[in-house]
Structure 1
Amino acid sequence: MRFDNLYSHDFARVAVGVPQCRVADPAFNAEKTIALLRQAAADGVAVMAFPELGLSAYSCDDLFHQRALLDGCEAALAQVLAATQTLPLVAIVGMPLRVEQRLFNCAVVLLRGRILGVVPKTFLPNYSEFYEARQFGSGEEATVDSVTLLGQQVPFGSRQVFSAEDMPLLRLHVEICEDVWTPIPPSSFAALAGATVLVNLSASNIVVGKAAYRRQLVSQQSARCLAAYVYSSAGAGESTTDLAWDGQALICENGELLAESERFVRDSHVVTADVDLERLARERMRQTSFGDSVRLHAAAVGAFRQVPFELGLDRDRPLALHRRVERFPYVPADLGRRDERCQEVYNIQVQGLTQRLASSGIGKLVVGISGGLDSTHALLVAARAMDALGLPRTHIIGVTMPGFATGERTREQARRLMAAVGCEAREIDIRPSCAQMLRDIGHPHREDQPVYDVTFENVQAGERTSHLFRLANLAGGMVLGTGDLSELALGWCTYGVGDHMSHYNVNASVPKTLIQHLVRWVAETGQLGAGTDTQVLHDILDTEISPELVPGALQSTEAVVGPYALQDFNLFYTLRHGYAPSKIAFLARHAWGEAYAPAEIKRVLRIFLQRFFKGSQFKRSCVPNAPKVGSGGSLSPRGDWRAPSDSEAAVWLADLDRIPDERA
């Protein structure tokens, strides 16, 4: 097994073929279908769908009752079946099929010269421009559950799930066009029966507005079913006697559009996407309501027949993803969606804080201001909360507390920031109290013989926290926390002090990479009010992230814990999806390309695993109240993450070590 093969990580490459067709010319249609099948197989596709009645063309009308056409379709199917003998993919083609003196609109599922099954259409549209009940019978009217086709005895019926034994998460269900337009599509029950990839062979003529509706329909069905949905449409060559055809092909996964074909294309074409089967399986496992639905509809689920097959995957072939993986999963790449995300997160934080202030009857906030990123954003949220409550921003007491290693740049930024916000600004030099604490506990640090150990660092953090809480007592306010999700995940916070403990924390479920964009968004959209000098926000964004606790050379946080860009990536796929480290590394390599070498990706991921799974959970088990802002998760023990404080990281590290050093 290669770790640079997408199938090794439970992805499946699926495709929709939109061949050029000719009405009532099965041989021509088979030739075009085979050409697209060979193209897809060369690209590593596992499952490929074609349009409804693609071997005959959909717009044959009463020609469907002509024996010559029906015989020609079976001959065309034989051509396609023969071509699949050397192709390692499941092909699903549409054709009219005679069964027990009835005619059915069918999907035929093929693999390596074998017919896996035949699925008849259940719901026949007989309104507006559609007259299917004139030519076809519904699959519900069938009196047999198997048919003999091209010399093979094969399953027949709409309640079939085709299961890949060599890829257990790949389980297919097929429905046809109108089936998905009904209140309860057959695919809904199929998903409850275990199908993860729902395939729809559609023809679907085009009228104004229909393309957008199809897109919405397919996306929503994939979301409701926690599945992938593969949808085809008929394209060039169908009869335009009364209709037109756009060849829209769609591939969705759990509500997300992965791929869409170009419409109104004259030539045959293919659209592909890599479906994350593990993501779908984990979502079904996580969402207990899915299991409840399985139980509630046990009779319908039990009616499905499982049809096993072996795909014959080549996992020793390098096969990269055909899928966009965002470098910053918490931050949309699209600028419009990014602004929308920032506004939504900002509003959630503000709403959480205003409610806490209103319910507690407390009208003042105390915030420690370091001149760095997290405390900056907490102060920005506090300012908007005061505006929303109709209170002056001077009800915020901002306190900068320089210590032994505080740089002039961050100290000045803290002052400028408080002035820009308009809060009450205070400055407390904590060095005298820290020196007294060091003496009181018998620490060996002396000015002429410095000892810069963890105690020296944490005494400063502790003194800052003590000042904040006592100042809050004096002012009748509450301490607003500043620590973020990334720091909490890595345990990069001191237990019981300001970046860990507070009365309320607005940043606890916001990762570092998103906070950077939130601060920039506030600066660029004038959230602080017209005429406010926001240059200080840009200066803060350009400042190296550092705890500033040891005099001398600047302490770089990312030099210790790794780049936050990678660590937030690791956190998202660990917390939100529960992926194994080897899959996370595979995704990171694809997302970041040459920006990070495979060895660096592996090194940083190792840091994450060691810090996240062993040694820092006790800090996450007792965190202040904080609003959850996104589906990417939080680490609150009252929310998304409950874990033992004394677990081991061995299994995650062992999985990481399976990756060859030259490939992450």
Structure 2
Amino acid sequence: MNPTVGALEENFSSIVKYVKMAEKMKSDVLVFPELCLTGYPPEDLLFREDFLSETVSLLNKISREVGEMLVILGTVFPGEDGLFNSAAIIHSGEIKGFYHKQFLPNYSVFDEERYFQRGEKSLVIDVGLSKIGITICEDIWQPFGPALTESLLGGAEVIVSLNSSPYHVGKQLTREKMLSTRALETVSYVVYCNSVGGQDELVFDGYSSVFCFKGEVVSRAKGFEEDFLTVDLDLSSLRRFRKRESRRKELKECLSSLNLEVDLLRIDLPSKKRDSVNNRVERILSGAEEIYSALVLGVKDYVRKNGFEKAVIGVSGGIDSALTSVIAVDALGRENVKLVFMPSEFTSKESREDVRELSRRLGIPLIEIDIGEIFQSYLRSLKDIFRGKEWDRTEENIQARIRGNLLMALSNKFNWLVLNAGNKSEFATGYATLYGDMAGGFSVLKDVPKTMVYELAKYRNSISEVIPKRILEKPPSAELRRNQRDEDELGPYEKIDDIIRLYVEEDASPDEIVERGLPRELVSKITELIDRSEYKRRQGPPGIRISPRAFGKDRRYPITNSFRRR
């Protein structure tokens, strides 16, 4: 399910739609993701009484739509002891109970301890056919957490996990390794239900899946799109396997000594006659295909969920704006994307040709605004004040800001969302102009290093050659003065991106980075630029997170900061 934070009525309608689908298929149990009614993360909306009140009202309304099927649904629970991140247990038109999340993540992009109280009890539902244990997201990551307690002390044969687990590169493989381990430890089926969709900087990749008691995937939903997964569980095989498993008795005795509490909820599910289901296992995307899919979904949902119909991109003839344009077209359709070319006297003949060719291949008319006269009017206005001063970055930045101004004017006039085309290498080092090429409502490549930009462009061209070959081959340049090249000012992107990854994502010190074989002079230069550019990043647009540690929610450094790592 792809919920929208705060769109309670819309989320309610989606939930009811899936309830009716599952009832038509005569399902026994229907599982929804974590906080699917509110959307995730609702952040400080959780401090609003009206928001909580409407959520509770709609939850009660959902319960009246549920018949003999068991529905397990993620929502908030305002209790006497505080607010809980909960799973509502619904059956026969009533809310039968709640499970409250016990392990609250408070790291990386998560702030759950700011809002929620920890649950203290595990929950097992006895449905007659089997016993089902409930966990929510972080709970299932704990080796000796609620899943093991519910399996050993509560007798659960199925562990259900409600999730809103955000994407980063390689996350699904890490998840599945953990889920396999948890299924083996508990000797249970693990039913993992995850949200899908974009929410501000986060992308949720879906891939809801079921693991059997042998740690093997028996079913997996699609990634990066909504999917409805129906699975038949072979409980007789699980029971035979458990009888031969000797470790459970020893572990049960160990857990029993800890006085852990497990609530038991009895719900009688009627036996139903229905056709058997062929469990399907969708493939996991990887590499450039995985990242590209995340970016397309992130753009599509940010534009749609924020009420925009069209997006506008300033194209320069460079790789970043070309890739951003193609992603936008794949996300929104060519009819909803506008391309604006703003050349100056420093724009090369090749760039002019490449932009027009990109426009032709994408089938989008090009809006062209020459900034030459506008730039000259700035210089004339500043001539007396700048007298005696040499041309420097000031004049370069004026050009970038003219372009940013024009894009924002078009945005204001036509309600087009400006998609920023800056990449992670530029945002990291501050190689971008505040209120210029950093302008925009959403930054598509904000967490994508320059080297990966090329990989993504090559991947997309392997499907259909929409990006002109010369754009991929020419050296990157801002073209704000004659004979300008990025690498003459910064250094080779292959090494820069390694430094950024080590310094930002792995938190390595400059000395540790040098020990990895990177030149000290370049390491010192890039890490200092990263530290000094925090003020710029704070003023930049939000953008899609694809790495384990992105700028923004993941990495919170002070702007006023005199500490320099060695």
The normalised TM-score by structure 1 is 0.42
The normalised TM-score by structure 2 is 0.49
